[in-house]
Structure 1
């Protein structure tokens, strides 16, 4: 439901983007960056959307982002990033996202110069400031702005505006990169990422939306909405799921009784680790 406060935030967002004049949008295809792209397209500013493709992000997500950018009539580039070649990233420390974003923003900075764009923006929102986000430090280092955050827009408000503006993905579940499924300190490898992607694709085919398959070596820990527990323990579904996960390399399959929790891997971090990782 729209309110005067939400309308004011939308106006502020639109005015801020218009004032940037020439914008490169770091665009994943999620609801946050999609709203950012949509509102930017409503201004006189020159806009370029750039989506990063790598083994850490499912190809189906890249394809969906491309379709939406085309529907919005926005110039769109898909670039390949190479975080998997960085040992600081693949070692999977708590500050993993910093190393990934640093590589991404360095690439985007060069693209912005090449295309004559003044400002790089990302889809961070007001709720993200309360979460563990080492990547935000890389954004600050490269002068990347977060207009949704600057306008004070929360995730729920972003969904409301996305629905109001007729974005088809307004209710799309959040999609963190696949490396977030691997416990800190355990190496990120292409094989592990492929296993997670294949397992989550199978769960999506069952009609589930909010899911995470956490990769604990031979163990796949499934996080789904508790309302979906009954489906997964149905004899026929359970057997198909177990067989599929065995085929892609998991030995044990477990269902997490706490259900879906975005960022659950951060639960092991101490306050000291969070503080150090936020400062690098």
Structure 2
């Protein structure tokens, strides 16, 4: 006699998620196309069908690759997908880029979604905030709470690993995709957000992604200094010729003055370590980057900067 199939612990969670969202009546999902919002959107579509829609923000902080991925995942789910322009780049509080930048960005987004939801008589706006997010520095969560945005994953205590397992079991293509937050998250706190700087980051990351690096980040620090993060296993390949020279050339062409590699490797969200440090505007040494943490292009050593 074959052994009975053991129910995976995420299956009841997936069912509870659908049941929870079914109680919303109608639902608009703030949809980035990442695994968290994809699972919420898929659950909403399973629970509510045509009474659920996914809405993606379009702005300079959203890369073309992110937007394309969101469209693909929405088609895969089958949910109605809309795109709305947001104007956070015109908000001085957002542009200032202090530790509350994400709050001002999400506040702008949720105001836009609330207006759209009211126009279409949609009862609930839902985000992809998961249980793990509530333990990290995420000022955008406060913006969602102020706007009465629901977080069904966090409500049910569903963490990132469970989200990925649900996505895998629902055959969502992004189940194992690396996190890809907005481009403005690459700018160190205190460095003014501009369309030009966001484009610099987008072009730099597109180049490195095309070379097969994943996950990756290109952080932008004061003085238009690029700090590249790739997994440590990829550092040797990153620094080998001719790729290193090609990388320096590509990033300088994108607009960076200095090109560095972080020897600690890729660490998602590590700019949050700067939250308690004064911004460059108030303390020129606040974001000094030491040689012990990174290597640089020989011709563009940070200490040679005119800062």
So what's the TM-score if we normalise by structure 2?
Answer: 0.85
Runs of 4+ with deviation above 3 angstroms:
2-5
Aligned to 2:274, which of 255, 264, 268? Answer: 268
Unaligned runs of 5+ in 1: 274-280
Question: How far apart in 2 are the matches of 1:44 and 1:91?
Answer: 40
> How far does residue 206 in structure 1 lie from its aligned partner after superposition?
0.7
Q: Which moved more, 1:133-142 or 1:40-49?
A: 40-49
> How far does residue 222 in structure 1 lie from its aligned partner after superposition?
0.4
RMSD: 1.7
The aligned residue for residue 222 of structure 1 is 228
Tell me the alpha carbon deviations over residues 96-119 of structure 1, each in whole angstroms, 9 at most, x when there is no partner: 111111111011011111111100
> How far does residue 122 in structure 1 lie from its aligned partner after superposition?
0.2
Question: How far apart in 2 are the matches of 1:5 and 1:106?
Answer: 37
Question: How far apart in 1 are the matches of 2:278 and 2:7?
Answer: 40
> How far does residue 268 in structure 1 lie from its aligned partner after superposition?
1.8
The aligned residue for residue 43 of structure 2 is 39
Aligned to 2:241, which of 222, 225, 235? Answer: 235
Aligned to 2:14, which of 10, 20, 26? Answer: 10
The aligned residue for residue 136 of structure 2 is 131
Evaluate the alpha carbon distance shift between residue 243 and residue 129 of structure 1 in structure 2; reply closer, same or farther with a 3 A threshold.
same
The aligned residue for residue 183 of structure 1 is 188
The aligned residue for residue 282 of structure 2 is none
> How far does residue 270 in structure 1 lie from its aligned partner after superposition?
2.6
What pairs up with 1:1-280 in 2 under 5 angstroms? 4-44=8-48, 46-216=51-221, 217-270=223-276
Question: How far apart in 2 are the matches of 1:81 and 1:89?
Answer: 12
**More helix, by proportion:** 1
> How far does residue 252 in structure 1 lie from its aligned partner after superposition?
1.8
1:32–1:158: 8 Å Cα contact kept in structure 2?
A: yes
> How far does residue 269 in structure 1 lie from its aligned partner after superposition?
2.1
2:76–2:172: 8 Å Cα contact kept in structure 1?
A: no
Q: Which has the larger radius of gyration?
A: 2
1:9–1:152: 8 Å Cα contact kept in structure 2?
A: no
Larger RCO (CA within 8 A; separation ≥ 6): 1
Structure 2 SS opposite 1:199? helix
So what's the TM-score if we normalise by structure 1?
Answer: 0.93
Tell me the alpha carbon deviations over residues 246-269 of structure 1, each in whole angstroms, 9 at most, x when there is no partner: 111222211101111111111122
Question: How far apart in 2 are the matches of 1:271 and 1:59?
Answer: 32
Q: Which moved more, 1:69-78 or 1:18-27?
A: 69-78
Structure 1 SS opposite 2:9? helix
Question: How far apart in 1 are the matches of 2:9 and 2:73?
Answer: 28
